[in-house]
Amino acid sequence: MYCPKCSADAGADAARYCRSCGFRLDVVAILMTRNGELESFVPAITPPPATKTVSPRKKGLRSGGMMVFFSLFAFPFAYLYATWDKDVWPLFIPGTVFLMGVMRMLYAWLFEDSIPESAADIPPAPSAAGRPVSALPGAYQPLPVRTEAPNTINVNQPSSVTEPTTNLLGKQ
């Protein structure tokens, strides 16, 4: 096989890369077995947007913050009702919710993890099922597995550093 990029002899048919330019030859070999025809493919389905994973610590801080905000929002209404009713008990509700929010935030900050606990919380990696089959392989596709032993008969040994100079001197 010859490299389609630099026209150098690639050696054995099982070579994955060109020796001179590094071009990937495994894809070329697949195209040659199909006479240059790409496989038909199903149109790529757009994957659903990835859900953001939130750590337990962040969830706890957020819920505690919402409780504190709600208590500060409800305090003026409770104060107005307490002055109208001439009683102090309505002020205990926003005060209790405020303390619960502060305690929830403190607990989350001290004792909860800052990373998701299980792999179920992490969104799955995009699968190659929705990608077109005819696309050239990229980083998302696994490399083909060889079942036969590689043929190393055609592999050339690297020449020595002094050999080209010696050949030039021999021509003079």
On the question of pLDDT at 151 being above 60, the answer is yes
Residue 86: its pLDDT value, please? 87
3-state secondary structure of 91: helix
**Quick one: what percent of the chain has pLDDT higher than 70?**
62
Residue, of 70 and 129, whose pLDDT is higher: 70
CA-nearest of 105, 114, 118 to 56 is 114
Nearest Cα neighbor of 3 from 17, 79, 30 is: 17
Q: Which residue has the higher pLDDT, 131 or 69?
A: 69
Q: Hey, where are the domains in the chain?
A: 1-41, 56-111
pLDDT given for residue 3 in this prediction: 80
Name every residue whose Cβ is closer than 8 Å to that of residue 133 and which is 6 or more positions away in sequence. 39, 40, 41, 42
- Is the pLDDT score of 97 beyond 90? yes
As a whole number, mean pLDDT of residues 111-138 equals 58
Structure tokens at 31: 């195209």
Confidence of residue 41 (pLDDT cuts 50, 70, 90): very low
- In DSSP terms, 9 is beta-bridged to 2
Instruction: Copy the structure tokens of residue 14.
Output: 């099982």
Type of residue found at 45:
I
Span between the terminal Cα atoms of the chain, in Å:
35
Q: Is 140 exposed, middle or buried (0-12, 13-18, 19+ CB in 10 A)?
A: exposed
Mean pLDDT of the chain: 75
Predicted confidence at residue 112, as pLDDT, reads 87
Cα distances from 148 to residues 84, 92, 112, 144, 145, in angstroms, run 90, 78, 52, 12, 9
- In contact, 1 and 10? CB cutoff 8 Å: yes
Q: What average pLDDT score do residues 146-165 get?
A: 70
Q: Is 17 helix (H, G, I), strand (E, B) or coil?
A: strand
